[in-house]
Amino acid sequence: MSVEAPDAVAAPRAFVDLHCHTSASFDSLASPASVIRTAAARGVTHLAITDHDRIDRALRGRDAGATIAPGLTVLVGEEIRTRGGDLIAVFLEQAVPPGMSAPDTIAAVREQGGLVGLPHPYDRLRGSLSKSAEMTAFESLAGSVDWIEAWNPRVLLGRGNELAAALAARVGVPAVAVSDSHTTTEVGLASTAMGGDPSTADGLRAALGGELELVTGRASRYVRLVTPIATLLNRLRGRGRVRPSAVAR
């Protein structure tokens, strides 16, 4: 007598947000604890805290994450201002200084065993690498990263996300969705669903090579009005943007 095999149990998926900011960034007032709690409540399982040019709050968030929101893994990341524009790094133990060239920045991340992403590559209002690099050099650089943001909710004008998705397909790099949240309102509204265990650099790299589903939510565009207010308040508190060091320049 033959026995039918039981239905395969679907492997759990991770919901990963590879770009989010806390009050350690010069343009955010969101506390790390509130960001972590909100992300977990909205179904995010892996959250990269990527403050501008620093990782201190991300390190604290990683250490406290299990207590604040059991089941959510905090990845230590950084949004790094290179001479040509911004890059995202995750799995860092030391901050990568701003002000280096993009290739040197990528090399510094790789030296730590970290992964590199290309954020909002066609956003004309922010530090996007496509604005400063010659196109052939830009596409070569784009082909060397681990992911490209094909959906960033803070890209408000033009076809930036559409162009980023086309770039990812053209250079053969995984396309992801991120929240790029600067407020708790935005946390968890966009993320990337993937298989495997993206809790380590090798695990995330493998997961990015599998099937990805982009969750493309967006908060109200008016939430962007908080950013200049946060920038002003942080400047008054002496918490402005990290300046490139003489060594980086």
Domains (ranges, CATH) in the chain?
14-234 (3.20.20.140)
Q: What pLDDT does 136 receive?
A: 66
| Cα separation values, 206 from 64, 167, 176, Å | 26, 21, 14
| Contacts of 202-205 spanning 24+ positions with Cβ under 8 A | 204/16, 204/75, 204/90, 204/91, 204/115, 204/146, 205/115, 205/146
Q: 0.85 exceeded by the pTM?
A: yes
Is the pLDDT score of 248 beyond 60?
no
Q: Do 46 and 14 form a contact (C-beta atoms < 8 A)?
A: yes
Report phi then psi at 106, rounded to 5: -60, -40
Give 200's pLDDT tier (boundaries 50, 70, 90): very high
pLDDT tens profile 32-53:
999 999 999 999 999 999 999 9
